[in-house]
Amino acid sequence: MTPVRLGAVGYLNARPLVYGLDALPRFHVRYDVPSECARLLHENAIDLGLIPSIEYLRGGPYRIVPDVAIVSNGPVASVALYTTKPIEDVRSVAMDTSSRTSVALTQVLCTRHFKIAPAVVHVGPDLTEMLARCDAALIIGDIALLLDHRTLQLRDQKAQVRKIDLGEVWQSLTGLPFVYAFWAGRPGAVTAEDVEALQRARDAGRTQSEQIAQQYFAGTPAHREIGARYLRDNIQYHLGKPEREGLEAFYRYAAEAGVVESAGRLELY
């Protein structure tokens, strides 16, 4: 049987979802940043992608692997807006080019919660350079998780940087979890047995926070405790009813803000 081409996110938070999959002949796994996973799926270069949730509405039609996702219900630690001004005074935001969903979340929160309409610049995730160009910067993934913004040396030495955790803001605004990514592909891309294998990988991976963090940060022991705590306390991996409600709310708000054309509907394998 031809292997299923999986496009996985290379960040730490995705590793529990691919736990053991590299050893299964049924799957061929490649790792990329979230925006690249989306591009590859849209272009049929992979069969199933761990895509940013907003990209479900920008291609396809797609189906979602049931009950598997990257989720936070409160502070996420790895998706943050860094500002040098009070948020109400922010007029420009530098957006991490690695991201799609977090960019959309930032736009939704600016519209619905912060009540601002900043200009947007898309640049690579270098916080010093981003804040030299804009009033605020969106950083995601491992960089945001490990970054100590309090020690950042800015060109404006008087500026102080504040970190706004977007998972925390979303939960405060809606009372719902936020879904950052999930496995998605075209109808028929995977079998029921494939879906079960992906769910088993999730079940195994979510019990191995310490081991995954130790392997992921093998060359940087100081980061292992941060990584293990993050996997235990900040990230969840189920797509149940509350998570689907949060996802549907995000899609509605994104459509109302003009981020996507329509809110669509969730279709599962």
Helix then strand then coil, in percent of the chain rounded to 5, is: 45, 25, 35
Distance CA 167, CA 144 (A): 13
Compute how many other C-beta atoms are within 10 angstroms of the C-beta atom of residue 103: 22
What is the C-alpha separation between 206 and 68, in angstroms, rounded?
11
Q: State the sign of the Cα–Cα–Cα–Cα dihedral 112, 117, 123, 127.
A: negative
Alpha carbon distance 194, 189 (integer Å)? 9
Residue for token pair 């938070």: 13
Question: What does each of the 269 residues of the chain score in pLDDT, given as a tens digit?
Answer: 799 999 999 999 999 999 999 999 999 999 999 999 999 999 999 999 999 999 999 998 999 999 999 999 999 999 999 999 999 999 999 999 888 999 999 999 999 999 999 999 999 999 999 999 999 999 999 999 999 887 776 666 667 899 999 999 999 999 999 999 999 999 999 999 999 999 999 999 999 999 999 999 998 988 999 999 999 999 999 999 999 999 999 999 999 999 999 999 999 99
Report yes or no: 17 and 37 within 8 Å, Cβ to Cβ: no
pLDDT in tens, 12-41: 999 999 999 999 999 999 999 999 999 999
Q: 132-177: per-residue pLDDT in tens?
A: 999 999 999 999 999 988 777 666 666 789 999 999 999 999 999 9
Q: Closest Cα partner for 6 from 43, 39, 37?
A: 37
Amino acid at 119: A
Residue 259: CB partners within 8 Å, gap ≥ 6? 54, 104, 107, 108
Cα distances from 224 to residues 146, 170, 187, 205, 231, in angstroms, run 11, 27, 39, 16, 11
**And the tokens for 13?**
């938070």
Q: Cis check for the bond before 61: say yes or no (omega within 30 of 0).
A: yes
Asked whether the beta carbons of 183 and 70 are under 8 A apart, the reply is: no
Burial environment of residue 153 by CB neighbours within 10 A (0 to 12, 13 to 18, 19 or more)? exposed
31: left (phi over 0), alpha (psi -120 to 50) or beta: beta
Taken in order of first residue, the domains within the chain and their CATH numbers are: 4-71+179-218+239-256 (3.40.190.10), 79-174 (3.40.190.10)
